[in-house]
Structure 1
Amino acid sequence: MTATRVLVLGGKAGIVRKARALGFEVVHVQKPSAFDPAVVEHCAQLLLVDYQDVPTVTALVRALHEQRPFARVFTQTEAAQVVAGHLTEALGLPGNGVRTTRLLHDKAALRALLNERGIGPVATVTCPAHDELRDFVKTHGAAVLKPTMGSGSLGVRVINSPDETDAAWAWHRQFGLGTFLTEQLLVGDELSVETFSVDGRHTVVALTGKETGGGTVELGHVVPAPLTDRDRDAVHAMVLDLLDAVGLVDGPAHTELIITADGPRVVESHSRRGGDRINELVRLVHGVDLEEATYRLAEGTEALPEPSADGAAAIRFLVAEPGVVTSVTGVADAESAPGVVDVDVQIDEGDTVHELRWSEDRCGYVLARAEDTATAVRLAAAAAARITITTEPADGGEAAGTLGDLLEEVDEVLDPFAAATAIPASATGTR
Structure 2
Amino acid sequence: MAHPHILVLAGNARILEKAAKLGLRVTNFEKPGTFDPRTVPSCSQLHLFDFQNIRLVTELARTLHAADPFTRIVTHSEIGQVISGHLTTTLGLPGNGLDVTRTLHNKLALRELLNDKGLGPVPVARRTTREDLAAFVTAHGGAVVKPLMGSGSLGVRTVPSAAEVPEVWEWIDAHGVGEFMIEALLNGVELSVETYSDAGRHTVVAVTGKDTKDGVIEQGHVVPAPLTAQDTATVGAFTCAVLDAVGLVDGVAHTEIMLTAGGPRVIESHSRAGGDRISRLVELATGIDLEALPLQRAADPDFTVPVPVLRSAAAVQFLDVPPGLITGVTGVEEAETADGVRELSVRAEIGDVVRPVQWSDDRRGHVVVQAATGAEAVRLAREVAGSITVRTTPVAEVPAPTMREVLAGAHEELDPFS
TM-score of the superposed pair, with normalisation by structure 2? 0.98
Q: 1:197 to 1:273 in 2, by over 3 A?
A: same
Identity of aligned residues (%): 50
Aligned twin of 2:26:
26
- Name the CA distance, whole Å, in 2 between partners of 1:143 and 1:166: 14
Contact 1:198–1:302 (CA<8 Å) still a contact in 2? no
The one-letter code of the counterpart of 1:222 is V
Question: 1:110-159, CA deviations, whole angstroms, 9 ceiling, x for partnerless residues?
Answer: 00000011110101111122222111111011101011111111111010
Structure 1 alignment gaps of length 5 or more: 419-431
Contact 1:345–1:363 (CA<8 Å) still a contact in 2? yes
Contact 1:105–1:149 (CA<8 Å) still a contact in 2? yes
Question: 1:150-177, CA deviations, whole angstroms, 9 ceiling, x for partnerless residues?
Answer: 1111111010111111221121111111
Aligned twin of 1:307:
308
The one-letter code of the counterpart of 2:125 is V
- Name the CA distance, whole Å, in 1 between partners of 2:179 and 2:122: 19
Contact 2:326–2:351 (CA<8 Å) still a contact in 1? yes
Contact 1:204–1:306 (CA<8 Å) still a contact in 2? no
Aligned twin of 1:346:
347
- Name the CA distance, whole Å, in 1 between partners of 2:298 and 2:286: 23
Q: 1:301 to 1:271 in 2, by over 3 A?
A: farther
Aligned twin of 1:422:
none
- Name the CA distance, whole Å, in 2 between partners of 1:48 and 1:393: 40
Structure 2 alignment gaps of length 5 or more: none
Aligned twin of 1:330:
331
Contact 2:11–2:28 (CA<8 Å) still a contact in 1? no
5 Å matches for 1:23-422?
Answer: 23-299=23-299, 300-394=301-395, 396-418=396-418
- Name the CA distance, whole Å, in 2 between partners of 1:296 and 1:50: 28
Aligned-pair CA distance for 1:399: 1.3
The one-letter code of the counterpart of 2:58 is T
- Name the CA distance, whole Å, in 2 between partners of 1:224 and 1:87: 35
Aligned-pair CA distance for 1:233: 2.1
- Name the CA distance, whole Å, in 1 between partners of 2:117 and 2:284: 36
Runs of 4+ deviating beyond 3 Å: 299-303
Question: 1:54-103, CA deviations, whole angstroms, 9 ceiling, x for partnerless residues?
Answer: 11111111111111111111111001100000011111111000011111
Contact 2:11–2:76 (CA<8 Å) still a contact in 1? yes
Contact 2:7–2:26 (CA<8 Å) still a contact in 1? yes
- Name the CA distance, whole Å, in 1 between partners of 2:217 and 2:157: 10
- Name the CA distance, whole Å, in 2 between partners of 1:305 and 1:294: 12
Moved more, 329-338 or 80-89: 329-338
Question: 1:263-313, CA deviations, whole angstroms, 9 ceiling, x for partnerless residues?
Answer: 111100000011111111111111111111111222435452441101100
Moved more, 405-414 or 103-112: 405-414
The one-letter code of the counterpart of 1:130 is R
- Name the CA distance, whole Å, in 2 between partners of 1:400 and 1:56: 33
Question: 1:356-393, CA deviations, whole angstroms, 9 ceiling, x for partnerless residues?
Answer: 00000001111111100000000010011110011223
Aligned twin of 2:2:
2
- Name the CA distance, whole Å, in 2 between partners of 1:305 and 1:117: 31
The one-letter code of the counterpart of 2:142 is A
- Give SS of 1:255's match: strand
The one-letter code of the counterpart of 2:139 is T
- Name the CA distance, whole Å, in 2 between partners of 1:202 and 1:331: 40
- Give SS of 1:368's match: strand
Aligned twin of 1:429:
none
Aligned-pair CA distance for 1:30: 0.4
Aligned-pair CA distance for 1:400: 2.7
Root-mean-square deviation (Å) = 1.1
Aligned residues: 417
- Give SS of 1:79's match: coil
The one-letter code of the counterpart of 2:120 is G
- Name the CA distance, whole Å, in 2 between partners of 1:335 and 1:400: 32
Contact 1:201–1:303 (CA<8 Å) still a contact in 2? no
- Name the CA distance, whole Å, in 1 between partners of 2:193 and 2:62: 35
Contact 2:31–2:49 (CA<8 Å) still a contact in 1? yes
- Name the CA distance, whole Å, in 1 between partners of 2:2 and 2:323: 53
- Name the CA distance, whole Å, in 1 between partners of 2:93 and 2:389: 50
- Name the CA distance, whole Å, in 2 between partners of 1:368 and 1:98: 37
TM-score of the superposed pair, with normalisation by structure 1? 0.95
